[in-house]
Amino acid sequence: MSFLEQIINTKKEEIKNLHNRYSLSFFEEQEFFHSSTLSLVGSLFESKRLGLIAEIKKASPSKGILRADFNHAEIAKIYMNNKVNAISVLTDSKYFKGSIEYLKEIAKFKTVPLLRKDFIIDEYQIFEAKASGADVVLLIGEALSAEQSDSLIAAASECNLEILYEIHSPAQLDKIDFDKIKLIGINNRNLDTFEVDIRTTRLIADMLPEGTVAISESGINTPDDIKIISHPKVKGLLVGEYFMKSEDIDKTLKQFINILEETNNEN
């Protein structure tokens, strides 16, 4: 059993509990469910530099606790003050030490789109995301069949949520309906081996149809990394661990944004 399969099996048990505790109508009755959403695609196209989705992640399965003095609300405020294009919030509790409560609390003062990052395999998670203040949900192609993808895309549309559809290899391209999905996350980390190769971004971006917006994810830390992933279809980066492990997130973030602006000027 691969590690991804292990996570999905855990998620199936969590979803059983979700079904037992709530109905879809419960989520529809929550305040955030009827709030207007902020567009990640719009934020990326309005940006004068390469877009940045900054991630809030306390831990990872491979590296353990990333930040001992973790305060999700304070980190979110730093990100917003530095005008990132969006914030990714890990909500998986067992493997990433996240929480849906983090998303709810940050949504109360959000000024940028919020991405719920989790292993989403059931429409209840989509409705829960909207009810918790998300604007975007992550779907991981490796974890879904084409039929599951279609069902979750329909649920997201019903909830007025954008979708970031993540793949880590060209083998996942065939299951994507590009008439419905325009925002593709290219994960440079192989989900089977956990090895990172940032050249994956350019490899897959070359295969995407025109009109697709790509986000490069994982392993991006330096100006050289940013140059390697540079591609006309790549409109943004998702960066988490690099900020989470910093002693001074605000300082590190400012430096990173300066690099993005300088790189943009060079291009």
Q: Does the active-site annotation cover 94?
A: no
Active-site residue flag, 57: yes
Which residue among 11, 57, 104, 175 is the active-site one?
A: 57
Q: Select which of 55, 123, 128, 241 is catalytic.
A: 55
Using an 8 Å Cβ cutoff, are 148 and 156 in contact?
Answer: no
Which residues, including other chains, have CB under 8 Å from residue 76's CB and lie 6 or more apart?
56, 87, 89, 106, 109, 110
Residue 47 known to be catalytic: no
Residue 120 CA, chain-centre distance (Å), reads: 12
Q: Which of 11, 58, 104, 117 is catalytic?
A: 117
Quote the CA–CA distance of 151 and 146 in Å, as a whole number. Answer: 9
Q: 187 catalytic, yes or no?
A: yes
Given the residues 128, 142, 162, 217, the one annotated as active site: 217
Angle between helix axes 72-81 and 100-107 (nearest 10 degrees) is 40
Which is catalytic among the residues 85, 187, 188, 216? 187
- The catalytic position among 218, 233, 235, 241 is 218
Q: Output the six-digit token pair for 206.
A: 């070359």
Q: Are strands 59-60 and 64-65 parallel, antiparallel or unpaired?
A: antiparallel
180: annotated active-site residue: no
Catalytic residue among 123, 128, 166, 241: 166
169/201 Cα distance (integer angstroms): 9
218 is catalytic: yes
**Alpha-carbon gap, residue 90 to 109, rounded angstroms:** 17
Q: Which residues are catalytic?
A: 55, 57, 117, 166, 187, 217-218
